[in-house]
Amino acid sequence: MATDRIDEDRGRREVIRDDDRRTSLPQNLARLIGLVFLLIGVLGFIPGVTHNFDELNFAGHESDAELFGIFQVSVLLNVIHIALGIAGIVLSGSAAGARSFLIGGGLVSLAMWLIGLLTTQRSDGNFLPVNVEDDYLHLILGAVMLLLALAPRGRAEPARVPDGERAGSRRVR
């Protein structure tokens, strides 16, 4: 769908297409991370991808199911991943929402890393559950998401040169 818009600086009409709308880098990153979270959450419910699937518990360290045979998962952890995925996709619709997701998701991941650091694998405090591999993943993911929240918002507009001047020249008064 195309719409006309008047460029007030140039006084001319131009055609803008829906596919010409640009999204910011944080929006694209939030959407990508949201899709990955959603995929991970769904994969956590698939036998074969999740090893020891028959030992998947709702929560707690008793869940011995492991995504890809590496990362300890539970129903609660899979649901958290799915919820984060949906949040990332929905919030990526705006630059502010994307940044909020990257910051919030990064803080949630760092909180999960802290839970892993402060609890032993077989303690009751390990309610998600998390193992050492999860701890490293949550630390890296949280740090990366917070750094990505600082990414530039988009492409800079080129500097406009007033009529009668050349780029790179200076007007002497």
Separation CA 20–CA 2 (nearest Å)? 9
> What is the per-residue pLDDT for 129?
77
* Mean pLDDT score across all residues of the chain: 81
Could you report the per-residue pLDDT of 100-137, keeping only the tens digit for each? 999 999 999 999 899 888 887 666 666 777 788 988 99
Helix (H, G, I), strand (E, B) or coil at 15: strand
> What is the per-residue pLDDT for 153?
65
Residue, of 159 and 103, whose pLDDT is higher = 103
pTM of the model: 0.72
* Residue 6, pLDDT above cutoff 60: no
Could you report the per-residue pLDDT of 37-50, keeping only the tens digit for each? 999 999 999 999 99
Q: Where are the domains of the chain?
A: 22-148
- The DSSP secondary structure of 138-170, one letter per residue, reads HHHHHHHHHHHTTS--SPPPPPPPPTT--TT--
CB of 55 closer than 8 Å to CB of 63: yes
Please, which pLDDT band fits residue 158 given cuts at 50, 70 and 90?
very low
> What is the per-residue pLDDT for 59?
82
* Residue 22, pLDDT above cutoff 60: yes
